[in-house]
Amino acid sequence: IASELFTDILQVIDRLHTRAPPIVHRNINPQNILVKYDESTGSFVKLGGFGLAVEHRDVDETHTQCAGVDAYMAPEVKRGRRYNQKCDMYSLGVLVQDLFNVDVNQVYKTDDKLNANYEKIRKLVLRLLNNVSFGRPSAHDLLVRRQEWALPYGAVRTGITHTMDA
């Protein structure tokens, strides 16, 4: 389910970043991710909190205003340096850690199915949390390469081999 939710979030961010002009949200965090099934679109995710969003009118344009929730803020934003849409991708990296409950400091052994899937997510998070903004993937890139990071439905259930009785 987490993969499906993240896919929905990526689709929303991709729509923002590929508009003309693109929109930089600048405040992606769990409180601004609204989850409710929408029959008309078949999606579960809506994005709120557009009070800090800005249009990115020129390819060479960058912003310097510090905006957003500190824990989800890209390094370049925290430092008051120039930034663009890739600051949203950093915020998504922090969000993915929460969504998948992945510790980027732990290397997961790939000898079993469950850990192999978590290692994929850990690598995705590391790409999103790249301290250099141009090293972060775009939402579009992640959607196109979804098979590289998405956990198959039921992967967690089939990866659990031991249960405890209450």
* Domains along the chain with CATH numbers: 2-152 (1.10.510.10)
Strands 23-24 and 54-55: antiparallel
Q: What is the pTM of this model?
A: 0.81
Q: Is residue 37 very low, low, confident or very high in pLDDT (cuts 50, 70, 90)? A: confident
CA–CA gap between residue 5 and residue 125 (Å, rounded): 15
Q: Is the predicted pLDDT of residue 143 greater than 70, yes or no?
A: yes
- Which carries the bigger pLDDT value, residue 134 or residue 53? 134
Residue linked to tokens 């990071």 = 149
CA–CA gap between residue 114 and residue 165 (Å, rounded): 21
The answer to whether 87 and 76 are in contact (CB under 8 A) is: yes
Give pLDDT tens digits for 38-93: 788 777 888 998 878 888 776 555 555 656 678 999 999 888 888 889 999 999 99
The answer to whether 89 and 138 are in contact (CB under 8 A) is: yes
